[in-house]
Amino acid sequence: MYALNYVRPKSVKEAADFLATHPEAKLISGGMTLIPTLKQRLAKPTHLVDIAHLAELGKIEVKAGKLIIGAGARHHVVATSAVVKKAIPALAALAHEIGDPQVRNQGTLGGSVANNDPAADYPAAVLGLGATVVTNKRSIAAEDYFQGLFTTALEEGEIVLRVEFPLPKRAAYSKFHHPASGYAMAGVFLAQTAEGVRVAVTGAGPGVFRWKEAETALGKSLKPAALEGVKLDSSNFNDDMHADRAYRANLVRVMAKRALAKLSGKK
Partner 1 sequence: MAKVTITVNGVKHTKQVEDRTLLANFLRDELGLTGTHIGCDTSQCGCCTVHVNGRAVKSCTMVAAQADGTQVTTIEGMAKKGKLHPIQQAFSECHGLQCGFCTPGMIMATAGLLKDNPNPTEDEIYKGLEGNLCRCTGYINIVKAVKASAKALRRK
Contact residues for partner 1, defined by CB under 8 A:
1-6, 8, 28, 31-32, 35-36, 38-39, 48, 50, 52, 76, 80, 99-103, 105-106, 180, 182
Contact (Cβ atoms closer than 8 angstroms) between residue 74 and residue 31: no
Least separation in angstroms between residue 32's CB and partner 1 is: 7
CA distance linking residue 125 with residue 129, whole number of Å: 6
Mapping DSSP onto H, E and C, the string for the chain reads CCCCEEECCCCHHHHHHHHHHCCCCEEECCCCCHHHHHHCCCCCCCEEEECCCCHHHCCEEEECCEEEEECCCEHHHHHHCHHHHHHCHHHHHHHHCCCCHHHHHHCEHHHHHHHCCCCCCHHHHHHHCCCEEEECCCEEEHHHHECCCCCECCCCCCCEEEEEEECCCEEEEEEEECCCCCCEEEEEEEEEECCEEEEEEECCCCCCEECHHHHHHHHHCCCHHHHCCCCCCCCCCCCCCCCCHHHHHHHHHHHHHHHHHHHCCCC
Residue 101 or residue 229: which is nearer to partner 1 going by CB?
101
Q: How far is the CB of 53 from partner 1 (least distance, A)?
A: 9
CB of 173 to partner 1, least distance (A): 16
Cβ closer to partner 1: 74 or 253? 74
Q: How many CB atoms lie within 10 A of CB 115?
A: 18
Nearest distance from C-beta of residue 227 to partner 1, angstroms: 28
Comparing CB distances to partner 1, the nearer of 50 and 213 is 50
CB of 44 to partner 1, least distance (A): 11
Q: Which is nearer to partner 1, 99 or 130 (CB)?
A: 99
> In angstroms, what is the minimal distance from the CB of 110 to partner 1?
15
Min dist. Cβ of residue 46 to partner 1 (A): 11
Q: Which is nearer to partner 1, 170 or 177 (CB)?
A: 177
Whether the Cβ atoms of residue 91 and residue 125 lie closer than 8 Å to each other: yes
Would you say 48 or 171 has its CB closer to partner 1?
48
Which residue's CB is nearer to partner 1, number 120 or number 129? Answer: 120
